[in-house]
């Protein structure tokens, strides 16, 4: 750290103001954005793990927003990581004409050596904009550091894989709460406090900043749709996409205790268990600087994070389910499954035949195992080995309360993106409803390996199938 002479010739620390200014991205680096093209700005945003959509002005404003925000700067890996990304792209853009010999334009150019290439980058920087001697030294040092990466076209930004994984797990824990893009960070949308690991003694105390835009969002007309949530994830949890609070957890924000899932030591949460997040009300957390304190009596590794989320409606959650495959493809998958053809190409399914049982005909129930009613939209998880289905609407409504997102038949994980709408049973139900009368109440159908089906004899009301 920089020091200055104090009284009696002793060295003292630099003023606090100087140390705080060192956290900001260098203005000379920010000014380089004015000379870049839209594709270059998009490349920077990809390296910083942010959205690259929009025109040039929007892309530049997004990069500047990251550079000017302390929270976003830390989420992107720190000021030096951002400066490396920007200077890397700028050197490639401004120094491209120095990378080849004068005959390169005609196709006969020869690539220069690494030293000549870096020298070309420095000359490009000097020709583009006159700099002071100190700034030119910084540029030359940066060019020497990233020259190899520039020449190979590789990315110069390495994100924290652990923090990114923790954040993704927290986002996937409850699809009914969508991360709100305030601020808009692709890897951590809605970030208020980045993932913080509890210490060896199970204690963490960390300040966080609630910006004016975030506070206005929480107190606005639509404030019931938004929450400031504190979430906790166990690092080596056997169920990755769930929230898990440690034993004897205690949470305080600005010395105000908040209700949290309380669990005695020794009563570990089972595989089907789910913990709710801690909602931090506006008033306990204030605009500006706040302090979070978390303590527990658990030797396992836990990570806490804070984000702003928006409530999704059931229709929005169902919109996350992939579109159903066509009827011919669904029928072909069913035929392969009945004839012993394995998963039929369903992603994530097991193609091994160790436990395979081949039957002549299969009887499929049209009732949802959750509600007991005839399915309206039959669905199953991608990893289901059987052909049994459940009703999509009932399944989503159930998980709005229990947050388990597991298949009621086999217990496999079944989040919205992992569901498959059964195109074959959808066609069968459509035919039965179109016939009307007793056919609409058929609850089981018998399916042949060829794909032909008919209502089961005890449910028969409308004759043959298809």
Q: Which domains does the chain have, with CATH numbers?
A: 13-152 (no CATH), 161-312 (2.60.120.780), 327-459 (3.30.40.10)
For residue 462, pLDDT over 70 is answered with: no
Distance from the first to the final alpha carbon of the chain: 79
Q: Which of 2-16, 172-186, 398-412 has the lowest mean pLDDT?
A: 2-16
Q: Give the per-residue pLDDT at 360.
A: 65
- What residues have CB less than 8 Å from 346, skipping those under 6 apart? 333, 382, 420
Q: Give the per-residue pLDDT at 231.
A: 93
Of residues 424 and 345, the one with the higher pLDDT is: 424
Mean pLDDT of 74-84: 83
Mean pLDDT of 117-122: 47
Cα dihedral 35, 61, 45, 87 sign: positive
Are residues 23 and 73 in contact, defined by beta-carbon separation less than 8 angstroms? yes
Summarised one tens digit per residue, pLDDT across range 302-350 is: 999 998 999 999 999 999 999 888 888 888 888 777 766 554 444 444 4
Burial class of 124 by CB neighbour count within 10 A (0 to 12, 13 to 18, 19+): buried
Task: Report the C-alpha gap between 175 and 292 in whole angstroms.
Answer: 25
Q: Give the per-residue pLDDT at 296.
A: 93
Summarised one tens digit per residue, pLDDT across range 228-252 is: 999 999 988 888 888 999 999 999 9
Confidence of residue 23 (pLDDT cuts 50, 70, 90): low
Whole-prediction pTM value?
Answer: 0.60
């Amino acid at each position: 750290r920089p020091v200055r002479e104090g009284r009696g010739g002793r060295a003292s620390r630099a003023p606090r103001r100087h140390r705080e200014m060192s956290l900001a991205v260098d203005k000379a680096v920010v000014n380089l954005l004015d000379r870049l093209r839209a594709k270059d700005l998009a490349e920077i945003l990809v390296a910083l793990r942010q959205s690259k959509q929009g025109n040039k002005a929007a892309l530049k404003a997004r990069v500047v927003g990251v550079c000017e925000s302390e929270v976003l700067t830390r989420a992107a890996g720190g000021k030096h990581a951002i400066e490396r990304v920007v200077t890397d792209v700028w050197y490639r853009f401004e120094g491209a004409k120095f990378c080849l010999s004068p005959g390169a334009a005609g196709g006969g150019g020869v690539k220069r050596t690494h030293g000549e290439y870096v020298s070309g980058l420095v000359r490009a920087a000097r020709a583009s904009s006159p700099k002071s001697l100190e700034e030119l030294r910084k540029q030359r040092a940066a060019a020497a550091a990233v020259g190899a990466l520039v020449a190979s076209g590789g990315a110069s930004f390495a994100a924290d894989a652990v923090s990114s994984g923790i954040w993704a797990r927290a986002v996937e824990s409850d699809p009914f709460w969508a991360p709100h893009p305030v601020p808009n960070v692709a890897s951590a949308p809605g970030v208020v406090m980045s993932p913080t690991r509890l210490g060896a003694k199970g204690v963490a105390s960390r300040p966080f900043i609630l910006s004016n835009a975030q506070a206005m969002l929480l107190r606005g007309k639509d404030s019931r749709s938004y929450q400031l949530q504190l979430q906790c994830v166990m690092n080596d949890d056997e169920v990755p996409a769930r929230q898990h609070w440690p034993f004897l957890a205690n949470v305080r924000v600005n010395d105000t205790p908040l209700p949290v899932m309380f669990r005695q030591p020794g009563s570990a949460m089972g595989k089907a268990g789910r913990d709710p997040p801690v909602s931090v009300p506006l008033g306990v957390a204030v605009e500006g600087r706040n302090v979070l304190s978390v303590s527990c009596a658990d030797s396992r590794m836990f990570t806490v994070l804070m984000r702003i989320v928006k409530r999704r409606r059931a229709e929005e959650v169902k919109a996350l389910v992939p579109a159903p495959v066509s009827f011919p493809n669904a029928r072909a998958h069913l035929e392969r499954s009945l004839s012993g053809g394995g998963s039929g190409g369903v992603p994530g399914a097991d193609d091994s035949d160790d436990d395979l049982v081949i039957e002549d005909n299969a009887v499929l129930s049209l009732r949802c195992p959750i509600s007991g009613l005839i399915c309206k939209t039959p669905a199953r998880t991608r990893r289901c080995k059987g052909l049994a289905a459940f009703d999509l609407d009932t399944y989503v409504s159930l998980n709005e309360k229990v947050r388990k997102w597991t298949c009621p038949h086999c217990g496999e994980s079944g989040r919205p993106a992992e569901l498959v709408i059964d195109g074959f049973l959808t066609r069968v139900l459509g035919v039965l409803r179109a016939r009307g009368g007793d056919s609409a109440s058929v609850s089981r159908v018998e399916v042949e390996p060829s794909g032909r089906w008919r209502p089961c004899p005890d449910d028969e009301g409308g004759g043959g199938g298809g």
